[in-house]
Amino acid sequence: MCPESIENRWDILYRDYPQVYDAFSSVPYQPSIFDQVPKIINMQNLTVADIGAGTGKSSLALAKIARQVIGVEIEPAMLLKATQQAHEKNQTNIIFLCGDALAIPLSTDSVDVVTGFTLALFPPAQYREFIREGLRVAKKQVVYVGIPPGWYGGELHGVIDNPFKGTIDLEMDRIFIEEFQFQYQDVFSIQEYGTIENIVNLYGFIFGKKVIDYLKIENKTSIRWKFRVYWRE
């Protein structure tokens, strides 16, 4: 039986409910982060390895501007959905590989850009290895799009019972900006879910019972997000 919420257990979401993640990420971001990031980092006609490809949203969006995209994903259930979506969309300049962000299954200097769109590694110390691997594989740039401190769950961060409140994203900033000297820029985006039922079934399912109650009381159908785009040449 499907629970009312997985209470922030993203590992369970990816393993058992890839269709819920896919529906959650299919609610368009306005303006789209996939439009905003290429305005900061040029990926036109380049080869891109998109690490943590999930069900394929980021990789498919990048494939519209890049010459070739290689999506790398560790969870077989997510990978299967990504492959099906690329096939359904007849997107021919994209392939998906099963692999780990901490040991990217690509050779040194084999792509122009390595991206990670909300790869969300845990514990955050793992970003060091992702960055080292990204710098090994990419000829030009490593780009990571994450959630800045205090924005887990977008504007509802205050409502979410998050046992790691503030700690993960602060450590990410330390690793990317201080240790590895990435540049960064913040972008904003809104997800509109249309109906209370839809937002509760997706956002509430992922972020927990307190969020479900809050959304119903406030009659809220949209969520504002802040993303941090980190990049290094």
227 binds ligand SAM (CB under 6 A): no
Which one of 43, 60, 69, 78 is in contact with ligand SAM (CB under 6 A)? Answer: 78
Contact window for ligand SAM (CB under 6 A) among 115-123, 136-144, 194-202, 219-227: 115-123
66 binds ligand SAM (CB under 6 A): no
101 binds ligand SAM (CB under 6 A): yes
Which one of 20, 65, 102, 190 is in contact with ligand SAM (CB under 6 A)? Answer: 102
121 binds ligand SAM (CB under 6 A): yes
Nearest to 54 by CA among 90, 26, 92, 91: 26
The tokens describing 50, both together, are 């998109």
User: What span, in angstroms and rounded, lies between the C-alpha atoms of 154 and 69?
Assistant: 28
Strands ordered across the beta sheet of 68-73:
29-30, 183-192, 222-232, 138-146, 111-117, 47-51, 68-73, 94-98
Tokens 């159908």 map to which residue? 221
Q: Select 91 or 118, whichever has its Cβ closest to ligand SAM.
A: 118
User: What span, in angstroms and rounded, lies between the C-alpha atoms of 178 and 49?
Assistant: 24
Of all residues in the shown chain, the one whose CB is closest to ligand SAM is 54
Could you tell me how many residues of this chain bind ligand SAM (CB under 6 A)? Answer: 21
Site pattern 18..37 for ligand SAM (x: CB under 6 A)? -------x------------
Q: Which phi-psi region, left, alpha or beta, contains residue 64 (left: φ > 0; alpha: ψ -120 to 50)?
A: alpha
Task: Name the site residues for ligand SAM (rule: CB under 6 A).
Answer: 14, 25, 51-54, 57-58, 72-75, 78, 100-102, 117-121
